[in-house]
A and B are shown apart, each in its own frame.
Chain A
Amino acid sequence: MSRRRVAAIFRRVAAEIRRDRPSLALLFIAPILITGLVTFILRDSQAPQVTAVVVNTAGVRGQLVGTALGAALQHGGVTVSDVADEAAARAAIANSGATIGIVIGTDGAPVSPLTITVITNGLDPAGEAAQVATVQRAVLSAAGNASGTALPAILHTTLYGTPSDDPISTFAPAIVGFFAYFFVYILTGVSFLRERTGGTLERLMATPVTRGEVVLGYTLGFGLFATIQVAVLILWALGSLHVPALGPLPAFSVGLGVAVNGSPLLAFLVVVLLAVGAVSLGIFLSTFARTELQVIQFIPIVLAPQFLLSGVLFPVSTLPSILQPLVAIMPLNYAVDGLRQVFIRGADLGVAALQLDLIVLAVVAAFFATIAALTIRRDVV
């Protein structure tokens, strides 16, 4: 291993990326735009506008419940009106802007308990689930008022962070890890493919350079930019720079202001290890691609499963058991977990869970670096 040859490859790779303005923009601006948008959506989504129509088919008993429920719903900001029967309620949802119908009835027998049937239009399951939840809260509240004794309240507390935490504080670590992985893979894969197809790899192999020096030089070159990217992303996620109102411009803040309980440097270490693995993965997979388009085509195979199975969107613990072995081998999974350990739990290097994450990421990076090096001197016909 010659230090000057590694340095030469590092300088060359860095110079190439520096000149590639669109890729630099991809590296820095795209993740900021997307994390900003996701944060905005998660934090500032509007409360659902609920307009309810209530039908009572259960006589006097139903009348009492209907009144109490109506009052509770109105207290929760719901517009409530009464209609004559279920058909009228369905028509109101279909035609005149009601979002939810509530039918108070019985299952026939005179002393049987009352039933409450909630009707929604079924076009937006997620949004409607939120409306049904609104009705459930109103029912609980009405029952409490009717019985004259306050129902016990359920309080939720957590070991790390707070349960009412901004949703972005669990999402931000995942998305920082994912972007680092995604962009480093794409840029390395395409760049190394050019090296193979442009004849420069052939020429490089006709020099005293070793495969290990090539992988190390690439890792340093792309690692430098991945490091800057991660630093910018972490600053963006954690920072919150308030800009005061100036003339006609309203006050605003720059940065997502995610609370972090651990050391940002540890978070940084986690992502850099992940990115180093991504450089080698890009080199390795470029062996199987003939064109740049094919590097992009590996995304659904290589990156999409990681995105789905690493707790970025769906909690890992609720994934089907048949997928759990796959979860266990996803490098991104360990990075996301490591980042959450640092961000939310405030873990330091003494925490076993974080140690495991770091060790797995280091082993994965070393493994891919080895197979990447082995694929370099492949015979090109």
Chain B
Amino acid sequence: MAPQAVPDAPGGNVPPAIRASGLVKTFGTLRAVDDVTFELAPGRIYGLLGPNGSGKTTLIRLLAGLTLPTAGWAEVLGTRMPSRQNLERIGYMTQADGVYTALTVAENLRFFGAVFGVDGDEPAAAALAVVDLADRRDSIVGTLSGGQRRRLSLACALIHRPPVLFLDEPTVGVDPLLRVEFWAHFRTLADAGTTIVVSSHVMDEADRCDELLFVRSGRLTARGTGREIRARAGTTDLEQAFLRLGGDVAVTR
């Protein structure tokens, strides 16, 4: 599944796929996202790491334009968010499965395909093949296991072949074997130009990302490749590195 084409910037100077500038989101007195600024290059996998409640989901929702920032702005593929039009170029796998349990696997895919303007059986079949659910296409989602629903959820985020993918804890409840396949597929998508932001609190997935962004209490505390971060923290253990660079509370596994 090749993503929709993203126009290259003239002169070979590739513009960032995602930009955030001074992003702030407060809920009452809580600063869920606190002055986050970054630029993410296209075709790479970014791991958003942080403990539960550190603001990862809110940051993704700000980037996808699902909630309005208190201050600052976010841009995806050169378009300021929120932008309904731009959502056609974004895939979002929510933390909850977000699939219709009374419908079949195929009906869920057809529905999300239709709202994205994708027709025909081919995109659904391709998305199902990725998550290895083709044999369950006519099963009612309510009868699937938790891991199978997670796979369907991913397939629904891929159905329109978006050039930007936000995946909020995509591998929760997915067995280790399939987790390996998920990551292999993320890599295939990134190689074809898709920009992927994966949130996770599982450190052993972090090394599969091209670059890591550590989030604590809504702030971006560190950024770099796994190797860079280990070197900076003076440790070979990412978890230790996170604790040294990011904060003082143990990262949940």
Contacts and interface: CB of A to CB of B under 8 A. Distances in A.
Q: Do A and B come from one complex?
A: yes
A198 B98 contact: yes
Contacts of B64: 206
Say what secondary structure dominates the interface of chain A.
helix
Interface stretch (A11-19, A25-33, A219-227, A353-361): A11-19
B111 interface: yes
Given A19-B102, A207-B115, A207-B116, A198 B96 contact: yes
Contact of A208 (B66, B87, B97): B87
A381 B84 CA distance: 21
Contacts of A209: 115
Contact of B140 (A4, A19, A204): A19
Contacts of A9: 115
Say what secondary structure dominates the interface of chain B.
loop
Contacts of A124: none
Interface in B138-185: 140, 156
Nearest to B166: A206
A210 interface: yes
Interface residues of A, number: 26
A11 to B, nearest CB: 8
B95 interface: yes
Interface in B98-151: 98-103, 107, 110-112, 114-117, 140
A379 B95 contact: no
A381 B61 CA distance: 11
A202 B84 contact: no
Interface residues of B, number: 31
A381 B27 contact: yes
A243 interface: no
Nearest to A210: B84
Contact of B102 (A11, A15, A204): A15
Interface in A52-86: none
B67 interface: yes
Nearest to A2: B117
Contacts of A379: 67-68
B137 to A, nearest CB: 15
Interface of B: 27, 64, 66-68, 84-85, 87-88, 90, 92, 94-103, 107, 110-112, 114-117, 140, 156
Given A9-B115, A203-B156, 12 more contacts: A4-B114, A8-B110, A12-B100, A15-B107, A19-B140, A198-B101, A199-B98, A204-B115, A206-B90, A206-B92, A208-B88, A209-B115
